Structure 1
């Protein structure tokens, strides 16, 4: 085993620590004994240089612009597989054959309804409640309805039933959130529709009026969900793992991930892109907007460009751009696409953005697609959550089945007051 030498210049103590070899990516130094051997912790805000776990699910290379699910490139999965096949891949580690695909999709259909008392839960929310607030609460409440299959720490079948149940119910819950927000009754799913077809049907069908699922919209959502299904150890996935490490039930852990995703620095980015394009409003104003972006004192940001991890073109952005054109060809042109393409053209040729490696990310075009499908901005992050639930539950299963799994307990650098003595009341100023 490769090791690396740590030496404390103060004490002169020298300790060898193992270097862990990945399939791809950076090697990782196992510093688990650092505190015991030297009496030091490490300080790494945002975990920029810290591997929090071992995982075999997803790998991304930000420098190369590469994303793999279980070793398969995202470009191939988006082209050749549907979202439920990708869910199966994330959960089980391999793509399903025809028989396993049918069994899995049948299982998802069997679990896609929500009980009537859970449906009534929505009546307790105010009419203008944000859909993400409702989704967080409803997903967490699932443990109260399905506690009979929550022996998840010991029973593998209970884990997989819970995973399938969660993936199946996310579109139904999301559609119910939307319907409540507009004052309409929720719609039951249909067994003859696809995963994304059912979502569109439950969101947009009306009582007494037959709704026909547009195949372009159906396929666009399926690809978007595939692209959003997982993204390694991002903030929400890490939240699910940290919450799950305490042994809490998976619905509560995933609800914690949904709450994290709601943050504008994470799942709300495509909404911010739409608001930016609406603010620009016209092609004639693009250059002046770019000038403000380049002025560090203006406080104006170019949303949908750059990424915490990617220092090259986000591979998902290329796929989404093509899907965006297909959707608008079917649903009608959106002037915001012209703005988006002009912004991209400038950013990819301007030294200011090139030097900073600011390339379009997955959020840049996804909001335009959602808008074309008549999905309101308040639902954008809900769409993200539907897709990411597959990754969250896969990481949760991986985490709780690790042989050396421990409850998460980060350390801190304490910078508060030194020890003080409490004065009697009469002496306090």
Structure 2
């Protein structure tokens, strides 16, 4: 048995107009087509077509499908399902585009800093100089975590996984900043967002320092967001690693700042969807972000740049790249190409283009000769010229070079996913804020196809 799905032009009735309004899509629609879903039993469901404000994707609103036809849809992994409408990030994987609030991310990374991008994501527009000064002041005001929160780290073993620490500590913020969620209280939402973004550098630095048994270092008002992160991570009572050499310190901070920008948001990925689902129950926003961190922890999501470093180490030298590529093409057991291709992008990852250039500049600025960079460049050169990779649209993604940069700065691979979470926090909290403030905000409740035993009696 199969369903028949047909498309026809019709004027929108009042229920369809309400549906479009409910989804808050920005398209100006006076007349639109809808899909007709014909069941084997003869019932027909008329489902409105919806269109985004930018891009060529088309959507069928199935909100009334069960009411009309008594059926549900089945979409494992939500590969063909839009779970929400959003005005934050636009991605066109075929064209290799990623825009924050309409601005191409690679252009933003070259002309803005992370806090400017954070303001853009949270507020929808780039800040004026006065707005930026106020926002920067608010972030720095909330950067320090409370003394009692340090006990979270003191109680954890130094060998505790960095992501286990981050998940626990961020969830613990709920105890210090309880939020009684009011969907109409925009001021409360922004206060929670600012605290969340502000406290992540110190939390991240403490996770690193806890592994070394080093005391906490507090932020400085004269440092930027990225500079404070490096300062709080690498300062010691007897000496400070980076500020001893201002040129190296500034180069490293610039690279970190761009890393944070490029990872700030990326539409409805696994961790962002997790934040939205957790937040849909009206959970405390810190708890919702903690759920997103737990989702990012999975190696299929947040561990890609670490896997790239492992791959480059296994390749060893530039001369071994051709043999490695041969093994990849022959699908030899245990040989995997990491850092190429993307679940969304079928073209060159726009975040990777600029970062590729920046990594070379950072290593030169820090006077570091990393042989892994030469291996990476040779691997990229061969892959981009080989028909096998071109046919499969396997282009380098942002993870291909970020691991090299983080390692050059001195950040261990065990901290790579923590850095990812630090960057993505602003995206998570922005997505949460958008969700709770939209009309029709309600709890997520996916359906399932039950494949277990039918009802039966106990023996």
TM-score under structure 2 length normalisation: 0.90
Return the match for 2:135 from 104, 118, 128.
104
Instruction: Write the mapping of 1:151-300 to structure 2, written as runs, cut at 5 A.
Output: 151-211=181-241, 212=243, 214-300=249-335
> Alpha-carbon deviation of 1:131?
1.0
Does residue 310 in structure 1 map to residue 348 in structure 2?
no
Contact 1:267 1:381 in 2 (8 A): yes
Number of the residue aligned with 1:143: 174
CA deviations over 1:108-136 (Å, ceiling 9, x no partner): 00000001110121011111001111011
> Alpha-carbon deviation of 1:5?
3.0
Number of the residue aligned with 1:426: none
Number of the residue aligned with 2:80: 49
Match of 1:348, SS state, is: helix
Does residue 382 in structure 1 map to residue 418 in structure 2?
yes
CA deviations over 1:339-369 (Å, ceiling 9, x no partner): 1011101111111111110000010000000
Query: Which stretch has the larger CA shift, 283-292 or 319-328?
Result: 283-292
Does residue 350 in structure 1 map to residue 386 in structure 2?
yes
Contact 1:6 1:17 in 2 (8 A): yes
Distance change in 2, residues 1:300/1:161 (3 Å): same
Number of the residue aligned with 2:440: 404
- Give distance in 2, aligned partners of 1:142 and 1:15: 47
Distance change in 2, residues 1:259/1:9 (3 Å): closer
Q: Which runs of 5+ in 2 are unaligned?
A: 1-30
CA deviations over 1:137-183 (Å, ceiling 9, x no partner): 00000011112x54453421111111001100000000000000111
Contact 2:119 2:125 in 1 (8 A): yes
Contact 2:98 2:350 in 1 (8 A): yes
Distance change in 2, residues 1:126/1:96 (3 Å): same
Return the match for 2:375 from 330, 333, 339.
339
Distance change in 2, residues 1:210/1:11 (3 Å): closer
Contact 2:181 2:282 in 1 (8 A): no
Does residue 417 in structure 1 map to residue 447 in structure 2?
no
Number of the residue aligned with 1:126: 157
Distance change in 2, residues 1:271/1:93 (3 Å): same
Contact 2:275 2:292 in 1 (8 A): yes
Contact 1:132 1:381 in 2 (8 A): yes
Contact 1:60 1:232 in 2 (8 A): yes
Q: Which runs of 5+ in 1 are unaligned?
A: 424-429
Contact 1:150 1:159 in 2 (8 A): no
Does residue 34 in structure 1 map to residue 65 in structure 2?
yes
TM-score under structure 1 length normalisation: 0.96
Number of aligned residue pairs: 422
Does residue 3 in structure 1 map to residue 33 in structure 2?
yes
> Alpha-carbon deviation of 1:9?
4.1
- Give distance in 1, aligned partners of 2:240 and 2:319: 42
Contact 1:65 1:311 in 2 (8 A): yes
